[in-house]
Structure 1
Amino acid sequence: MFTYETADQKEVRRFRIAQFNGRMATVKAGEATVTGFVRSVLEKESSTPPCWTITIIPNAPKEAPRPLRPSSRTRPFAEDYF
């Protein structure tokens, strides 16, 4: 799990909407970029200005799809033209 802390209300709203709709969200913190499902959005009550802690469950990056079979190197029905 990846924990992220922010004070940006627009960003918090985006995470809450992603959590509600079951969509993946992407966070870029420094050099790290994490994409995954939002597990929780918690507000720290004792902080001024308001601050939120967001927990994300990261997903492994998807592999590029491979073709099911190799494509033909010759044109189909090429012998019909000769």
Structure 2
Amino acid sequence: MFTFETTDQKEVRRFRIAQFNGRITTVKSGGSTVTGHVRSVLERKSSDPARWAITIVPREPKIKTNILRPTPRVRAFVEDFY
């Protein structure tokens, strides 16, 4: 699990929405990039300004394949119209 802290309220809102909807999110922290599901968003009440600890369960990103789909066989039925 990957845990980091932030004070950005917009970022926290984005992570809470991703957690609620079960979406995968990507975080760039320091020099590393982590992609995964948000497990928890916890507010640190003792800090000023407000700070949140966000825990992400890493997941391997899906690899897109460039397999082309076969073209539709429309011309096979052209002789039916004549």
User: Which sections of structure 2, spanning at least 5 residues, go unmatched?
Assistant: 68-82
Residue of structure 1 equivalent to 2:31: 31
Matched, 1:48 2:48: yes
Residue of structure 1 equivalent to 2:62: 62
Residue of structure 2 equivalent to 1:4: 4
- In structure 1, give the amino acid aligned to 2:30: G
- In structure 2, give the amino acid aligned to 1:26: T
Displaced runs of 4 or more, over 3 A: 63-67
Identity percentage of aligned residues:
67
TM-score, length basis structure 2: 0.75
- Mapped partners of 1:49, 1:11: distance in 2: 15
Residue of structure 2 equivalent to 1:78: none
- Mapped partners of 1:55, 1:37: distance in 2: 9
- In structure 1, give the amino acid aligned to 2:16: R
